[in-house]
Amino acid sequence: MIDAISNIYCFPMLLSVTNVILVYYLFSSIYLCYSEGALNLLENVSIPAVITFGDSYLDQGNNNYINTIVKANFHPYGKDFVDGKPTGRFTDGKSLADFFVNALGVKEYLPAYLDPLIQDQDLKTGVSFASGGSGYDPITPTITSVIPLSSQLEMFKQYIGKLNKIVGEDATENILTKSVYLISASTNDFFISYSTVPVRRVQYDVPTYNKMLVQLAVNFVKEIHKLGARKIAVLSGPPVGCLPVQRTLSGGVLRKCVDNDNNAVQLFNDMLKQQLKFLESNLLQSRVAFVDFYNPLMSIIENPHQYGLEVTDKGCCGTGAIEVLFLCNKLSLTCHDDSKFLFWDSIHLSEKGCIIFVNQVLPDLVNSLF
């Protein structure tokens, strides 16, 4: 892209400054929206590792090694991954975590911490502690029988101990303070605990539940900060009411987005953004970024053709209306071209959806953390 822009000045007729800016904007927009690989905006910054916590959007296969039905280590999951291998990533190929770690210049794939084949080098450059089906609300992972954030925090402490043995305490401190931490953990709280299995809806109204979730999110950020994290990015809630499965369950005959769910998430996001900004001002030498998971996805859902997509109301697996986890299995037919689908199954983004989203939010993420 840089070469293309520099060649502008070789045209026989000198372009005006305004035209140069317009051409640069055009090239940048095209590259941002349609690049097959994630943008890398870091030229003079070295990030030793990326570490993730939370749910299935960042789970790289930890659930393979626990007793739960919330798994994705079977076909057709992973059909577009290396050798068509299902790894436990909740998509057809690379995940959000993979694209983030690649775009930040660390490595191509982020491994699951519980993977028994994990190597020392993997630990030095980051791992995922996330567990599909988890959430900020402790009742959420209880319902789904997955790894709660409290246990992910304990795994992180174990990880720090292993790093100390591998590289020493000084090098470990350097890795921890310069690494990027990603957290995504609110989706299941809204989709499962407040909607599908509405145990929380009978206890709390929306504002009260959101206040509780935000406080839990802030507390978790504080906990990893105590352990050395200094560059922390928290994903907001996505438009849960527009997930294909939620359209099917609660969107009526026309499968419309569910406004009540989306409104609840938007209120949470507003509260979370405000509290993270306040928290950042009170954590010395730290950056805490709010990553908007809602508006970029809504833009893609409402304007699919602008992003090279065709289908945003169904997943690629099966009918696309309900299939997720074990309902999306080796007996399920899949769409002809998953690169035209925002969603892989009825909840999770396709590989193409992941890269489009990462490229949408990456510039703001980098600006917020560096």
Amino acid at 5: I
Q: Tell me the C-alpha distance between 107 and 196, whole Å.
A: 37
Rama region for 99: left / alpha / beta (φ>0; ψ in -120 to 50; rest): alpha
Angle between helices 206-226 and 259-282 (to 10 degrees): 40
**Choosing from 92, 193, 348, 350, which is the catalytic residue?**
348
DSSP 3-state assignment of 168? coil
Would you call 345 a catalytic residue per the annotation? yes
Options 98, 345, 346, 350, the catalytic residue: 345
Angstrom distance (rounded) from CA 352 to CA 168: 39
Report how far residue 51's alpha carbon sits from residue 307's, in angstroms, rounded to the nearest whole number: 28
Residue of 56, 128, 346, 350 marked catalytic: 56
Q: For the CA atoms of 105, 1, 95, 256, what is the dihedral angle to 10 degrees?
A: 140
Contact 95, 354 (CB under 8 A): yes
Would you call the peptide bond into 76 cis, given omega within 30 degrees of 0 as the criterion? yes
Helix spans in the chain (H):
2-6, 17-34, 96-103, 120-125, 139-144, 149-167, 169-178, 187-188, 206-226, 244-250, 259-282, 295-302, 351-369
Contacts with 152 (C-beta within 8 Å, 6 or more apart), sequence order:
53, 54, 129, 130, 131, 134
Q: How many residues belong to the chain?
A: 370
Enter the tokens of residue 285.
């030498």
Any catalytic annotation for residue 186? Answer: no
Residue 127: exposure state from Cβ atoms within 10 A (0-12, 13-18, ≥19): buried
Q: How far apart are CA 206 and CA 213, in angstroms?
A: 10
56 tagged catalytic? yes
Residues acting as catalytic residues: 56, 345, 348
